[in-house]
Structure 1
Amino acid sequence: MHHVPTHRLARGAAALAAAATASLVLLTVAGSPAAAAGSARTDPAPAMSDTDITRLLDSADAAVCTEGADAQMRCYTTEADYRAAEGLSGAEVGTLSMSECPSGYFCLWEWTGYGGDRVQYRVAGTKDLYSYWRDRGTSYYNRRAAGGRLVDIRSALPDPNLYFPAGGHHSDLGKESYVYGGNWNNKVDRIVLS
């Protein structure tokens, strides 16, 4: 039997714990329906304030941020980490596209052709995008049973809306005309899901 000094075991355990949590950040939005009702989840992550959530999302360290059925946001540093943690099948490199968006979700990507970082929502309601995501959306896919709208918040003019149906998708919002001239690329500040 090989003897490992206790200090090495402690350091190794700490490194494993850090590595295991590095790819997932559980975000619990204070005042969410799940928080009010009491959650059956056993996640050890403490609740985070809106400021902490904003700081994380603004850091651009998350490749996928997803809203659970409990209205809590969870962010993952890679697509592979997201798929593993959510129990989704893996995909070969280069094969991911709009199929990354799970059934029942609305997904918004930062690049054309459903590429780059992604934020996705499943619960109906108004989703004000955190500052990292504001004015960054370039493609979307709505895999929900109901439609909704994208909103560009304007300070001195009425807020333009781009409506989308259930199953609606757009690979390049730069090709969608915008009421004040130009196009919808990098204009989304809010998502309203019916």
Structure 2
Amino acid sequence: MFRSSRIVLALGLATALATSTTTAHAETVPEAVQEGQAGGGAVGALALHEGELIDLAEDWGEAEVCIQQDEDAAVEFRCYDDDVSAAAGEGVGTADLRDCLVGTLCLWENTHFTGKRVQFQRAGTYNMADYHGGFRDKISSFHNDRNAGMTLVDFRSGIIADRKIDYLGKTVVANLGSVAYPDGGSWDNKTDRVIVK
């Protein structure tokens, strides 16, 4: 049922995009999107990258940075090839940690804010399997520049309760490998869900 609702969402999104000839960033809506061909049945979060609709759970292609858009945007995310392109496309500063905009949460696949990045600006519960070909168990650093807090969740199986760690707003962690995990080890590459408050 979840998969079919995502397909309906993808088709609805493609229909909404087809009614407009440009996106918020003056890109032409691709013909494949107009025809409702969103990657053969999308199941993850949908994004626009270089004029193509992509399913972030499947493959980011050449994209390195995906930034959540306003609630009224035609697509949930807009993706870019690198930090410099993201900075130019979103109208923000230089390509470094400061590109995590005020009021957003940025998650990186590598320590010290490197590698692929997904950026959230709205409160919500986000399953990491829906991002970055499955961003699940791949988060190594983050910058929460929101005033509100956040929670990282590691799914456990059987009778063992899920593990959670809460952070306040305005928190920066350069290496989740330095954050102790309840069962030993660290929180590096253990996050399955992020709750943005």
Q: Structure 2 unaligned segments of length 5 or more: list them.
A: 1-5, 24-28, 47-53
Q: CA deviation at 1:134?
A: 0.7
Quick check: 1:59 aligned with 2:94?
A: no
Counterpart in the other structure of 1:87: 91
Counterpart in the other structure of 1:110: 109
Counterpart in the other structure of 1:168: 171
Q: Distance in 2 between matches of 1:164 and 1:178?
A: 14
1:83-112 deviation per Cα after TM superposition (whole angstroms, max 9, x unaligned): 121122344xxxx2x222111100111111
1:97-155 deviation per Cα after TM superposition (whole angstroms, max 9, x unaligned): x2221111001111111111111101101011125311110011101120010111122
Aligned length: 159
Amino acid at match of 2:167: F
Shift in alpha-carbon separation, 1:89–1:171, aligned structure 2, 3 A: closer
Q: Is the 8 A contact 1:60 1:132 kept in 2?
A: no
CA-based RMSD of the aligned residues comes to 2.9
Residue among 138, 149, 154 paired with 1:147: 149
Q: Distance in 1 between matches of 2:107 and 2:85?
A: 19
Secondary structure (helix, strand or coil) at the match of 1:185 reads coil
Q: Distance in 1 between matches of 2:69 and 2:161?
A: 32
Counterpart in the other structure of 1:69: 70
Aligned ranges for residues 6-45 of structure 1 at < 5 Å?
31=9, 42-43=22-23, 44-45=29-30
Q: CA deviation at 1:58?
A: 3.5
Q: Which of these two proteins has the greater Rg computed from alpha carbons?
A: 1
Q: Distance in 2 between matches of 1:73 and 1:29?
A: 17
Of 177-186 and 40-49, deviating more is 40-49
TM-score relative to the length of structure 1? 0.70
Residue among 119, 129, 138 paired with 2:140: 138
Q: Distance in 1 between matches of 2:42 and 2:144?
A: 26
Counterpart in the other structure of 1:50: 42
Secondary structure (helix, strand or coil) at the match of 2:156 reads coil
Q: Structure 1 unaligned segments of length 5 or more: list them.
A: 1-27
